[in-house]
Copies of this chain bind each other. A is one copy, B any other.
Amino acid sequence: MQHTIDRPYHHGDLRRTILDTAMAMLHEDRGWQFTLREIARRAGVSHAAPYKHFADKASLLAEMALIGFDRLREALSQDKPDASGSLRDAFFGMGRAYMRFATANPGLYRLMFSADAGRQPADVHLDERALAACEPLIALLMRGQAEGTLRPRDVRGQMAACWGQMHGLALLTIDGLLLPEKVGADALDNALMTLMEGLEA
């Protein structure tokens, strides 16, 4: 008779709870060095319970990374005000949205691109999801080229330039390597501007 009234033998939705708890801990520690056992402890279940829902720790991390990419994609698709407004505004908006997502979820963002998130097995899914998150960007680039606002270059190259820029700036910012006092208050906007000018015709 170990169980309280509040917690019956079967948790009900342990899988969801585990994911939520892990996300919360990720947010606290900004590093994914949380332990499976600690998650189980917080969820109020035994230390082996999570293994009924995830094959191993890497699987949990991989799933979290997938969720992260979905959220990122959503964040990028969101504040794109359709085809109204100038391309430049849309571009800056998307860039800032990307940075906002990364800096608001530093732990998640790092996890998404971490080798620890199970980079061995069918992580193809992860890669696919990552590239899918870039689709709003590709759409924006194609629109720009169609308008004639952007130079008519290989879109994939431009995509690589933008994504690389965003990804790098995001990680450097998360790591505290782009502190305003070292690199200027609006270095981020300046960097975005430089990139934009490289894209524009």
**Shortest CB–CB separation between residue A107 and chain B, in angstroms?**
9
If A156-B187, A160-B183, A169-B164 touch, whether A176 touches B116 (CB-CB below 8 Å) is no
B contact residues around A153 at 8 Å (CB): 190, 193-194
How far is A197 from B150 in the complex, measured between Cα atoms in Å? 12
For the complex, is A182 an interface residue (Cβ under 8 Å from B)? yes
| A190 (CB) vs chain B CBs: closest residue | B157
Give the size of the chain A interface in residues (CB under 8 angstroms).
50
**Shortest CB–CB separation between residue A192 and chain B, in angstroms?**
8
| A29 (CB) vs chain B CBs: closest residue | B115
**Shortest CB–CB separation between residue A197 and chain B, in angstroms?**
4
Q: Pick from B160, B177, B195: contact of A178, CB below 8 A.
A: B160
If A161-B194, A169-B160, A171-B168 touch, whether A184 touches B115 (CB-CB below 8 Å) is no
B172 contacts A159, C-beta separation under 8 Å = no
User: In this complex, which of A30, A113, A186 has the most chain B Cβ atoms within 10 angstroms of its Cβ?
Assistant: A113
For the complex, is A97 an interface residue (Cβ under 8 Å from B)? no
If A127-B176, A130-B177, A171-B113 touch, whether A186 touches B165 (CB-CB below 8 Å) is no
How far is A138 from B127 in the complex, measured between Cα atoms in Å? 34
For the complex, is A49 an interface residue (Cβ under 8 Å from B)? no
B contact residues around A160 at 8 Å (CB): 169, 172, 178, 183-184, 187-188, 190-191
Extra contacts besides A156-B184, A158-B190 (19): CB < 8 Å: A31-B116, A130-B177, A154-B184, A154-B187, A154-B190, A156-B182, A156-B187, A156-B190, A157-B184, A157-B191, A157-B193, A158-B191, A160-B169, A160-B190, A161-B190, A164-B168, A164-B178, A165-B168, A194-B198
